[in-house]
């Protein structure tokens, strides 16, 4: 998964390609994709090796700004335990001794890159002028601010990891919300969400 980080830039020019088209394109050039697309590609690649993987989803509990309101990451089985990776930022959650999954981030998790989030490679590179919104406004400069240092990445994680869950098949599952306000925010992004126990997320 670390190696995959070197075959793409954070952008959205290739987001409309299918997994098969992305695989072919990656043989000849760097891809320009966002977090959800690279996770989709990785899940497909890992399944070819018989490795269980699923999408991990997060939403902010801070004020919505239309850019940093959530994130898509990857959970995969490592020695029988779900472990959370962020291929977009080339990080794994946990330290050298204990790796963390979504269920471990459910409450009171304070993200600190270099302490409980470890870098697997260089911080991700932006596709300059290749990350635009529907009005063709370049967002790469704004997005790049969150990835210029471990400190900025820690601050960005503190924003987007307000609530973290998974997508299992067509279902969205988040740990039982700690308050009605948190539940409402999760439902805003995922109207069909199912709230489950931490044990269910660990299965």
- Please report which confidence band the pLDDT of residue 9 belongs to, taking 50, 70 and 90 as the band edges: confident
pLDDT at 148: 74
Phi, psi of 118 (to 5 degrees): -110, 135
- The reply to whether 31 falls in a domain is no
- The reply to whether 92 falls in a domain is yes
The predicted-structure confidence for 107-144, as pLDDT tens digits, reads as follows: 678 999 999 999 887 766 766 666 666 766 666 656 66
Lowest mean pLDDT among 72-76, 115-119, 136-140, 153-157: 136-140
How many CB atoms sit inside 10 A of residue 100's CB?
18
Enclosing domain of residue 72 = 52-202
- What does the block give as tokens for 40? 């989709």
pLDDT at 8: 86
Q: How many domains does the chain have?
A: 1
Look at residues 156, 91, 155 and name the one whose alpha carbon lies nearest to residue 121: 91
The answer to whether 91 and 99 have CB atoms below 8 angstroms apart is: no
39-48 CB burial, b ≥16 within 10 A, e <16: bbbbbebbee
The model's pTM is 0.87
- The reply to whether 56 falls in a domain is yes
- The reply to whether 19 falls in a domain is no
- The reply to whether 13 falls in a domain is no
- Please report which confidence band the pLDDT of residue 192 belongs to, taking 50, 70 and 90 as the band edges: very high
Distance between CA atoms of residues 62 and 106, nearest Å: 16
pLDDT at 12: 85
């Amino acid at each position: 998964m670390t190696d995959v980080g070197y075959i793409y830039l954070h952008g959205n020019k290739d987001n409309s390609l299918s997994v098969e088209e992305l695989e072919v394109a990656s043989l000849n050039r760097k891809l320009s994709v966002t977090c959800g697309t690279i996770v989709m590609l990785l899940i497909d690649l890992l399944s070819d090796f018989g490795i269980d993987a699923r999408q991990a989803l997060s939403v902010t509990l801070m004020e919505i700004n239309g850019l940093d309101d959530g994130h898509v990451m990857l959970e995969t089985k490592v020695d029988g335990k779900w472990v959370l990776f962020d291929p977009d930022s080339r990080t794994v959650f946990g330290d050298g001794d204990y790796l963390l999954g979504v269920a471990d981030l459910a409450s009171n998790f304070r993200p600190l890159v270099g302490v409980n989030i470890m870098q697997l490679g260089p911080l991700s590179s932006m596709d300059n002028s290749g990350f635009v919104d529907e009005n063709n406004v370049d967002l790469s400069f704004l997005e790049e601010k969150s990835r210029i240092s471990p400190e900025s990445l820690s601050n960005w994680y503190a924003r987007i990891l307000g609530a973290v869950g998974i997508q299992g098949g067509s279902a969205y599952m988040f740990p039982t919300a700690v308050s009605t306000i948190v539940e409402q925010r999760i439902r805003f992004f995922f109207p069909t969400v199912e709230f489950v126990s931490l044990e269910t997320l660990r299965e």
